[in-house]
Structure 1
């Protein structure tokens, strides 16, 4: 999987902080400081990709702030604004039993208990109470709560999900 390894967007660089190269990060992770678990980040914007190494990071005022090796002043930091932060999928910790990374669910085929294919997982939404699968397919868009009441099985090997969900829902 080397050069074509799957990278997962985990947030973006929203601005600079101070004059010594610190950056403000908008993290799309469950916990704001989760990105600090990864020493190497891939940054992408407009077809350009950079690899940076985390030198330091902290939460200040509920906001993630980081410093990369070799980015030592405000101008260098400012040039990175708007870059998407990507982490290689294989760098993720293994998921706990019956837990899944959103990135692994996207693209899975969802069928109901009657064997009718509802479509593929396009994305997920966090409603606060629980996650919701956004499924697009021949029967239109379906929103299915990702909870055990509706989700019968998740087969990561065959990339399929079976849901207790009727076509008329």
Structure 2
């Protein structure tokens, strides 16, 4: 189901916070503060340069997460990190509960409907606020509500297939 060497994007630095080198951190985890428990981090700067960080500290404030990193001690250094992405090894994430999935684990799986029509592969998922949506790309792109068991009938990681109850013509 998962590649232990795969890295998962879990956050992004949005620049400096204050004058002591603290950083504004956008977390893609749920809850947002969960990002602080995953290690090690690989930081990828917008230039593509990467470095591993094991010692990051953070806290919540009214506007989100504030991060402290070793070697970042002033506002200029913090601002220079704007756009830096935070990755963790997929193996650092806890196993999902039964019936729950990490979106990243679904990406790349083949999508077929209950009649056997091939819809291509899971390209990505996104949230609308009401429900999540699976985007399947094959001969064309389809957006399928990720509602179990209404539209998503099964997820079989061993076979690499997501089966959906969705009209091939829709």
Q: Same fold (TM over 0.5)?
A: yes
The runs of 5 or more residues in structure 1 that have no matched partner are none
Aligned to 2:36, what secondary structure does the other structure show? helix
Aligned to 2:77, what secondary structure does the other structure show? helix
Whichever structure has more strand as a proportion of its residues is 1
Partner of 2:37: 37
Q: Larger deviation: 81-90 or 34-43?
A: 34-43
TM-score by length of 2: 0.90
| Alignment RMSD (CA, Å) | 1.5
Partner of 2:105: 104
2-side partners of 1:105 and 1:39: how far apart? 22
Q: CA deviation at 1:124?
A: 0.6
Pairs within 5 Å for 1:40-51: 40-45=40-45, 46-51=47-52
Deviating 4+ runs (over 4 angstroms): none
The runs of 5 or more residues in structure 2 that have no matched partner are none
Aligned to 1:77, what secondary structure does the other structure show? helix
Partner of 2:143: 143
Q: CA deviation at 1:55?
A: 3.5
Distance change >3 Å, CA 70–CA 39, structure 1 → 2: farther
TM-score by length of 1: 0.90
Q: Contact between 1:53 and 1:68, CA under 8 Å: does it hold in 2?
A: no
Count of aligned pairs between the two proteins: 165
Q: Could you say which structure has the greater relative contact order, defined with CA pairs below 8 angstroms and 6 or more residues apart?
A: 2
2-side partners of 1:55 and 1:43: how far apart? 11
